[in-house]
């Protein structure tokens, strides 16, 4: 493959990556991050971590940003502040803390 052809392939791949990133960004643009949440940053982050551990796709952690979808955010606003979840085992808590969701050994 000639260098000119390789350069064209790489430029096309870079353009496609930018298009995919723009689509993904548009999907998450209506998500709520902890700094803009009426839940407060601590409650918001706890809700995100809980939902990420459940793996339902309504929350995400991107770097230091904790994001909730609009639907999840509405659910969390309706949820009582001190609501407790069902008891989990220490192993499940550790898996959630280590973000090893879905990996059972």
The domain tally of the chain equals: 2
Same domain, 102 and 83: yes
Reading the block at residue 100, the tokens are 């090893």
Same domain, 84 and 50: yes
Same domain, 25 and 36: no
- Cβ atoms of 67 and 32 within 8 Å: the answer is yes
Same domain, 45 and 24: no
**Degrees to nearest 5, angle at CA 31 with 25 and 58:** 100
Q: Which domain covers residue 43, as residue numbers?
A: 31-105
Asked whether the whole model's pTM tops 0.85, one would answer: no
Task: Give per-residue pLDDT as tens, 78-91.
Answer: 887 666 656 667 77
Task: Give per-residue pLDDT as tens, 39-78.
Answer: 999 999 999 999 988 888 888 888 888 989 999 999 998 8
Same domain, 8 and 58: no
**Degrees to nearest 5, angle at CA 52 with 91 and 48:** 115
């Amino acid at each position: 493959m000639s260098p000119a052809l390789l350069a064209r392939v790489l430029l096309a791949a870079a353009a496609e990556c930018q298009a995919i990133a723009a689509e993904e960004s548009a999907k998450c643009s209506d998500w709520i991050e902890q700094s803009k949440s009426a839940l407060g940053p601590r409650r918001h982050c706890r809700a995100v971590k809980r939902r990420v551990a459940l793996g339902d796709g309504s929350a995400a952690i991107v770097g230091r940003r904790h994001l909730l979808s609009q639907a999840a955010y509405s659910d969390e606003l309706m949820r009582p502040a001190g609501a407790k979840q069902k008891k989990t085992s220490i192993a499940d808590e550790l898996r959630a803390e280590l973000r090893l969701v879905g990996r059972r050994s």
